[in-house]
A and B are shown apart, each in its own frame.
Chain A
Amino acid sequence: MMDSKYKLTLGGALLGAFTTAAVPATAQTMDVSVTIPRLTVAEYHKPYVALWIEQAGKPARTINVWYDTGKKNNAGIKWLRDMRQWWRTVGRTTPTPPNGVTGATRAPGAAKISFTAGKGGMPALTAGSYTLVVEAAREGGGREVVKVPFTVSAAGTAKGSGKGSFELGAVSLTVRR
């Protein structure tokens, strides 16, 4: 109601900025879908998976790590370094296991995860270019990295998608408010 009243008195150019500020901003959310392919192998272990966000000139931010959380004495962390690109880029310079962003490994299929800006490892994404990197490493299997470049608009939204060939299937993301 207040909004519509002001709208009548303000010029068009100002309107957008004003309404954005006046309306309580809904938190920015990034929805990610990561497909783990179903593989017919004699001995299958669910892969370790790391998701992180890269932006030129800024430190990479881990947003999710799936590993074997069920081992005694948390012994599953030993193999975090098998996600070698993640380990080199960000894993080894942050606490092991990373705080507040870990979860159990997931079964084959499309995993859908929502990340809220400011929660866990998820940063607020201002307008600009980013890359979502997903790395999967499977015990007794292969390792694959899928990079999904995306551009966040002034409105704080974005879309992106990519695809793996061996250890990862489709990867997609939607940033919304």
Chain B
Amino acid sequence: MLNSRKSLLLLAASAALALSTAAQARQWLLPSETMFTGSGNEWLTVDAANSTDLYYYDHPGQPWDAVITAPDGSTVPVENRMVGKLRQVFDVPIAQGGTYKISITNDQMFGSSMLNGEKKMLPRGTTPATLAAAIPAGATEVQTAEANNRIETFVTAGEPTTSVFTSGGKGIEMIPVTHPNDLAVDEEATFQFLLDGKPAADLEVVAIPGGIRYRADLKQISAKTDAEGKVRFTWPEAGMYWVSVSIGGRRGGEGAGGPPPATPPQPEAPERRASYAMTVEVQG
């Protein structure tokens, strides 16, 4: 009796957790394969989408432009790019040995200004490059903040390499201690997160295995970054995991169960936002 009651309570708790996070769409890249033999003529295909369930397509697709960085540092053009209503698909030729990075970055500006006693919001889609043009001439009390979003995944042909893990110094970035293509069930992995090139300390990082739709428990695990921005996960099961961390705005904690901000961000003083999400495969 006690047992069944306890499990019911647990079920209720996990259902509540699932509901609380269902409202937030998750952005992801899903590679068809993470380990290639390295024969030089292999193909990777990638799905890119924004969804509540991992890894299913249930939100309108995004016109993202993925950047593929090859082990030698060159940029590989994607092929057969298709932007659908619910997802984007593209192919990548895997011609070199080593680790490739598939990355989508999206930098936006938001904020407001006053013009003739009237508050003007920055239009949606304003970027650092278009900011100057987006602020009306003669506007005063200009308040802006940047939002940097980054979505990544990694695949390796043959032996893993680390040449693609460089910091551009903007937004949240992941620098591996454990290579993201060298993860296995029951083994501990360490990742370092940087915010604008510096260790991102004390941030909640969550990891959720794919296949949410057909289970009651979200199976989310979370951990906080230490002073060096490092976080450790031990993978309970094999599969694809969505690993995410963010700062600022209502998306803070990305459903990590943390308390919401005491006061919503005020448009007068916009909060800097940044998010990072990567898909990694854990071998069984």
Contact = CB atoms under 8 A, between A and B. Distances in A.
A141 to B, nearest CB: 16
Contact of B37 (A77, A85, A88, A93): A77
Contact of A92 (B38, B184, B284): B38
B158 interface: yes
Contacts of A6: none
Interface size class of B (residues with CB under 8 A): 10 to 19
Interface in A77-136: 77-81, 84-85, 87-88, 92-93, 96
Could you tell me the dominant secondary structure of chain A's interface residues?
Answer: helix
Contacts of B283: 84-85, 88
Nearest to A96: B37
Interface in B17-64: 35-39, 42
B237 interface: no
Contacts of A96: 37-39, 158
A78 B39 CA distance: 7
B228 interface: no
Contacts of B156: 92
Contact of B158 (A79, A84, A85, A92): A92
B182 interface: yes
A79 B36 CA distance: 9
Contact of B42 (A78, A84, A87): A78
A92 B160 CA distance: 8
Given A92-B158, A93-B159, A96-B158, A87 B35 contact: yes
Contact of A81 (B37, B182, B284): B37
Interface of B: 35-39, 42, 156, 158-160, 182, 184, 283-284
